Structure 1
Amino acid sequence: MTGRQRSGRRTVCGLAALLLALQALTGCGSGAPPGPEGRTENADRGVQRLLDRWGTAVRNRDESAYLAAVDPAAGGYRDERRQVFANLAAVPLASWEYRLVRTGPAAGGRTAAEAELRYRLAGYDTAPVTTPVRLTLARRAGRWYVAGQDTREGGGQLWEQGAVTAVRGKRSLVLAVGQDQERLRALADLADRAVPAVESAWRGPWARRVVVEMPASLSRMAALLGAPASHYRGIAAVTTGEVGGAGAAPADRIIVNPEAYGVLGGFGRRIVLTHETAHVATRAATSAATPLWLSEGFADWAAYRGTGRTARQAAPELAAAVAAGRAPQKLPEDAEFGFAGEAGRLARAYEEGWLACRMIAEEWGEERLAAFYRAVGSRKRRGGAVEGAVRDVLGVDMGGFTVRWREYVARAF
C-alpha cells in the first residue's frame, strides 16, 4: 500500500486548538490581567531572553549553556534535556530559536508558557519549521529557568525519541532513530531516484529534494504525528507539511513506518517513496479545495508512471470489486480515505483516484492533468472547485467527466 499525505491544514488546526486550550486553562490572552504574582510585560521579556539563550546554545552546540537554562532543581528534566541535546549532534541545523507566545499566571515561583520552536535543516528548509512547545518555567533568585515540558499533546520531534542518525543522499536527507546504516543508505538511494521521477511528472517550481524520517517503530511514528498507532498500521509512509505554501516554505517531512515499509519488496518501496515525493512537489499547489481523490490519485499516478504496471496489478482491490459487480458509481469522498476505516475500502479509494488521474493523463495529456491539479488547488474553497476546473481545463461538465471515468474503470479490468 502506498503512503498517505497528512494535510498541513490539520497541522495548523492542531496548533490553533493547542493555543486555545492553553488560553482556556490559564485565563491569559493578549488582554489578560496580571496574575497572582503581578505578571508583567517585563517578566515576559525576561522569559523571552531565557528562550533566546536556550536557542543560541543549540545553534552553537554548547551543552553547558544549554543546561544552564534548565532549572538546577529539576534533576530528571535536566538529565532528559542533556540526552536530547546529545541526540541532536548529527542533525544539520541552519537555525534554531524559540518565540514566546504567552505565559500563564505565576504561582509559587512557577508558570506555564506556550512557545514556538522554529528551526531549519541546513540545505533543505528555506523557511523555519514551526512546532508548539509547552513549558514549565521556574523563577529562582530573580532568574527564569526551564523546569519542565508537557508532551501530552502528542507530536514532537525525532530527536526527542533517541540519538538521530543522518544519511545524506544526492537529493535527500534521511534522519532516523534505531535503524542501521545499510537500511538508511538504501532509503536515501530510493529517495534520490524518486525526485527525478516526480520531476518528470510535475514540471514546475518545487524543492527537488526531500527529508525522510524513520523512527524506531510504528508507535514512535504515531507519537511524531500525534495520533493513535492504529491510524498508521499497514501505512508505509505519510507526508507532513502545510498545503498551499508559498515558495519560502519549509521542506515537508516524509515519515516512514519502519514496520509496514519493512515488509514491502523493492518495487513497493520505490512506489512509496515516489508517491510521497509527489506530495512534496505538489504541496504548494494543494489547497483546501483539493479533494483527496485528486491529491492521492496524482501521487499514485506519478509513482506508477513509467513502471509498466497494468491496472489489475496496481489496483487489485478495485479489480475485484468490478469483477463482483460492485463498480464505483462516483468518485470517492474524502471520508473514504480515513486511516481508521475498512482496509479494502481505503485501498479502493486510492485506486479510484489513481485511475481518474491516469484517465486525464491519457485522454487529455499529462500537461493538462497538471493544469487541472493547479486549477483546483488555486481555489480557496472546495465548493465548485473541481466542477470549475473540469469545465475550464478539460472542457466537459462534471456529469460527463464522471461517466467517462466509470467507463474507463470498466475498460481497465
Structure 2
Amino acid sequence: MPSQYRPASVPQAPPAPSSYTPGYAYPSIPRQPAGYPANPYEPLRYTAPVAYPPVVLPPPTRPSRWPLAVVVALVLAVLGAGGGAVALGAFDRNVAVAWEVGQGRPGAPAATNRDGALGDLLNRRGTAVLGKDQAAFLADVDRSDPTWVKRQETIFANLQKLPLTAYGLKLHADRAYDSAVPPALRERFGDQARAVGVTVTYQIEGIDTEPVAVPWVPVFAPVDGRWTLVGEAGPDKELPTGVGGQPWDGEAITVQRSDHVTGVFSAGRDNPAKILNLAEKALGRVAVVRPAGWVGKVFVIATRDRKVFDAYFGDNPERVDQVAAIAVPHYNEVHNWGSSNRYAATRVIFNPDQLDEDQLQLGDDLTHEFTHAAMAPVTSGWTPTWLVEGFAEYVSYKGANIQQSKLREALRGVSTADLLAGEEFYDEPANYLTGWLACRMISEKWSEAKLIALYEGFQSTSNEDAVINKVLGISRDALVKQWQEYVARQRA
C-alpha cells in the first residue's frame, strides 16, 4: 500500500459546480452478482463478476497538494430532500420494515435451546430499535458492568438518530468466534461465553434502495439462568471486516443531511455543514461525468472515533495512518457469510485525522471517493486497478488548469513500464498520476464516452486486451505504447 502522497506540484482543481441540475431524476442502482474481498487490501482477483471492492489510498497530509485518495470512515448518505444541512436529531420517520430477526417472533413462546434463545433475544432487540423502546433494548444486557451498559445506551441513542426504514438482526449459529471472546469475559464466564456471528440489516431512508447487511459479533453468556448480551468479540483478525465500524458504533453521533448527502458526525465535535457543502460540490463534479447509472446519493461516516475507522484494518493495523478514507461497498448479505451477495450501496468512511484538512483538499478527496461510489455498480474484481484509480483521479481533476512545468516536475523519475492491473499498483503512489494520465489520454484521443465504455467493459471478463480492442480498436500493447509516449510528451 502506498504511504506517500500526490505530488505537491500538481495544481489545484477549479471550483466545482455548486449543485446538481435542478430536478434531475437519478435512477436506482442496477443489480449484479457480487463478491467482497476479506479485507481492504486483498488483491482484486475473483472467479466470477463481482461488485466494486474497497479501495485504499494514502492521506492528503504532509506538504503536498496531490493526496492519493480517501476511503472509509464517514457515513454520508445522500438524500433526495431539498434544502441545506438540517440536524436530524431523533429522526421522525415511519419505519416500514422490520427485517428478519433470528428464529423468534414477537409474542412467540420462549425458546428452550441456546440458539433459539439467542434468536429470540435478537428479535426483541431489533423490535426495540424499531419501536424506540430503550428499556426493552437494555432488558437483555448484562447490568453488572456500568461501562458496558453505558455503551449500549449510546448505541441505542445513535440508532434512533439514524433515518432508518429497516433494521433487524439475524443469528448465524454456525459462525462461532469463541476464540475472540475478550479475556475478562472468558475469565468470568469460562466456556459458557459464546461469540457468534449476527447479520445486522438496515436501510437508510432516501439513500438505500434495499437494506444492506453488515457483521456484528456479540458475546452471550448465561446470567441468572438466561442468555444475556455480555459483550462483543475482538479485536481479532479472524472477525469479518467492518465489525465495530458501523455508524452507530463508537461515541455519540449527530446526523445531518443536505440535498444529496446524509452524514454521521461526532456530536458537538465538528462543523458538519462544511463537509456537507463540500460533499454536495463533489457530487456535482461526479454528476457531470456520471449523471446516470447510480443512485446519485451518498452516505458518509465522519466521526472522530478512531475505533470506527480502525475496524476495516484488522489484518493491517499498521496501515491505518496511511489512509485518508475508504469507499466500502455493501451487499444484501455479509460478504463472509453470504452465498449470493448482491451489491446494494457504497459507504464512504473518513480517517478522523483527515477531517481538518483544507477545504480544497477535502473537496478533491470527496470527488475521488464519490467517483468510486458512482462507478461501483459497473466495477468488478476484474476492472484493472489503473483504470479504477485513474478514472477517479480523472474526474477529480477534470477541467483543472494543469501547469505543464509542475506536471513535468512531478513526472521526474516516474516509471511507465506498464499499466498495473492488480494490488501492486498501490506499491507506488506515482501510479495514481500515471493512471490519471492514461485516462486523460483516452478521453482526449477517443472521447470521454469511450473511456467510460472501457471502464464498463470489465464486468464479465478480465481480458484487458479483448476489452481494449473491442472499445478502442487497438491492442493492449498498442495502448500502453501510446500512453508511454503521452507521458513522455508531458515530460518534454
> 1:360, CA displacement in angstroms?
0.9
- List structure 1 runs of 4+ shifted beyond 6 angstroms: 105-108, 243-248
> 1:150, CA displacement in angstroms?
0.7
Rounded to whole Å, the distance in 2 between the matches of 1:242 and 1:160 is 17
Q: What is the RMSD of the two structures over their aligned residues, measured on CA atoms?
A: 3.3
Contact 2:170 2:199 in 1 (8 A): yes
Contact 2:213 2:330 in 1 (8 A): no
Q: Which amino acid aligns with 1:371?
A: A
CA 1:397/1:249 → structure 2, altered by over 3 Å: closer, same or farther? closer
Q: Does 1:387 align with 2:465?
A: yes
Q: Does 1:216 align with 2:304?
A: yes
Q: Which has the higher contact order (CA 8 A, sep 6+)?
A: 2
Rounded to whole Å, the distance in 2 between the matches of 1:244 and 1:131 is 9
Q: Any gaps of 5 or more consecutive residues in structure 2? A: 7-33, 42-110, 179-188, 334-339
Rounded to whole Å, the distance in 1 between the matches of 2:222 and 2:402 is 64
Indicate the residue corresponding to 1:63 in structure 2. 134
Rounded to whole Å, the distance in 2 between the matches of 1:211 and 1:175 is 8
CA 1:147/1:86 → structure 2, altered by over 3 Å: closer, same or farther? same
SS in 1 for 2:292: coil
Indicate the residue corresponding to 1:10 in structure 2. 37
> 1:118, CA displacement in angstroms?
1.3
> 1:271, CA displacement in angstroms?
1.1
Aligned partner (choices 75, 79, 85) of residue 150 of structure 2: 79
Moved more, 369-378 or 230-239: 230-239
Indicate the residue corresponding to 2:436 in structure 1. 354
Q: Any gaps of 5 or more consecutive residues in structure 1? A: 15-39
Q: Does 1:260 align with 2:354?
A: yes
SS in 2 for 1:71: coil
Aligned partner (choices 344, 362, 365) of residue 250 of structure 1: 344
Rounded to whole Å, the distance in 2 between the matches of 1:388 and 1:302 is 25
Q: Does 1:238 align with 2:326?
A: yes
Moved more, 221-230 or 197-206: 221-230
What aligned pairs does 1:10-409 form with structure 2 within 5 A after superposition? 10-11=37-38, 42-73=113-144, 75-102=146-173, 110-139=193-222, 143-153=226-236, 155=242, 156=244, 157-177=246-266, 180-182=269-271, 184-216=272-304, 221-226=309-314, 228=316, 230-242=318-330, 249-263=343-357, 265-310=358-403, 313=406, 318-321=410-413, 326-338=414-426, 341=427, 345-346=428-429, 348-379=430-461, 382=462, 384=463, 386-409=464-487
Indicate the residue corresponding to 1:30 in structure 2. none
Contact 1:111 1:136 in 2 (8 A): yes
Q: How many residues align?
A: 368
Moved more, 113-122 or 278-287: 113-122
Rounded to whole Å, the distance in 2 between the matches of 1:237 and 1:302 is 17
Q: TM-score, normalised by structure 2?
A: 0.67
Rounded to whole Å, the distance in 2 between the matches of 1:202 and 1:9 is 24
Moved more, 109-118 or 350-359: 109-118
SS in 1 for 2:171: strand
CA 1:333/1:291 → structure 2, altered by over 3 Å: closer, same or farther? closer
SS in 1 for 2:416: coil
Rounded to whole Å, the distance in 1 between the matches of 2:260 and 2:488 is 39
Rounded to whole Å, the distance in 2 between the matches of 1:192 and 1:328 is 35
Q: TM-score, normalised by structure 1?
A: 0.79
CA 1:84/1:261 → structure 2, altered by over 3 Å: closer, same or farther? closer
Contact 2:213 2:332 in 1 (8 A): no
Q: Which amino acid aligns with 1:279?
A: H
> 1:95, CA displacement in angstroms?
1.6
Rounded to whole Å, the distance in 2 between the matches of 1:364 and 1:179 is 49
Contact 1:247 1:284 in 2 (8 A): no
Q: Which amino acid aligns with 2:142?
A: D
Rounded to whole Å, the distance in 1 between the matches of 2:119 and 2:314 is 27
Rounded to whole Å, the distance in 1 between the matches of 2:156 and 2:36 is 30
